Amino acid sequence: MSDDRVLPDIDAEPYARPLWEAAQEERLVIQQCAPCSQAQFYPRPLCQQCGAAEFDWVEVAGTGTIASYTVIRRTVALPEFADEIPYAVGYVDLSEGPRIYTRFADCDLEAIEIGQEVQVTFEPVSDDVTLPLFQQR
């Protein structure tokens, strides 16, 4: 992976900082609305379901199923991923409900399919950013 890859700005949204801090410790956490208990991802300033602004951060089991995937065959938006091609990205439906975008690490591209069970794994990419990736189980 080349060094100039695009990284999230962990200070861009102060309300999202717990996500990035937990990822540094190789834990995946999601927002859970304090009043209505609905979990959501990505982090938002309001609950999608009830509109409340108070959240608890809860650690998830790190398991889920593939909601959809694609195998990238050419770079279009992000040339810095050229060395990785072919690679798979897509959405995982976490066991707790929320859907999360990810790259599939060490992926068997021949065997990947919707509904497949996956497990979180962590990839440190800079001093302050660690990304939650997922692996086929």
Partner 1 sequence: MVAEDAVVVGIGETEKSRARADLGEPVMSVEQYFARAAKLTLDDAGIEKDTVDGLGVINAAVETPFTYPAKLAETLGFEVDYLFSEDLGGVNATSLLVQAAISVDAGIADTVLCLGADTPYAPSAEGGDLFPRDPRGPTAQYTHPFGDQGPNASIALVQTAHQNAYGTTREQLGQIAVAQRHHASLNYLAYFDEKLDLETYLASDPVADPVHLHDCVIPVNAGYGFIVTNRNRAQSLDAPAVELAGYGARHNPEPVNQPDMTTTGVVDAAPTALDKAGIEPDDADFVQAYDDYPIIVAMQLEDIGFCAKGEGGEFVEQTGLRYDEKLPLNTSGGQLSAGQAGVAGGFDGLVEGIRQLQGAAGQRQIPDAARGIVTGVGGIAYGKNLLSSAVAVLERGEP
**Residues near partner 1 (CB under 8 A):** 5-9, 12-13, 16, 38-42, 48-49, 67-78, 81, 84, 87, 89-91, 93, 97-103, 113-114, 125, 129, 131, 133
Amino acid identity, position 134: F
Shortest distance in whole angstroms from residue 54 CB to partner 1: 18
Shortest distance in whole angstroms from residue 129 CB to partner 1: 8
The DSSP bridge pattern shows strands 39-40 and 29-33 to be antiparallel
Shortest distance in whole angstroms from residue 113 CB to partner 1: 8
Element (H, E) at 57: strand 55-59
* C-alpha to C-alpha distance for 117 and 68, rounded to whole angstroms: 12
Shortest distance in whole angstroms from residue 24 CB to partner 1: 14
SS3 36: coil
Distance (Å) of CA 11 to CA 16, 102, 127: 8, 20, 14
b/e per residue, 79-104, with b = 16+ CB within 10 A? eebeeeeebbbbbbbbebebebebbb
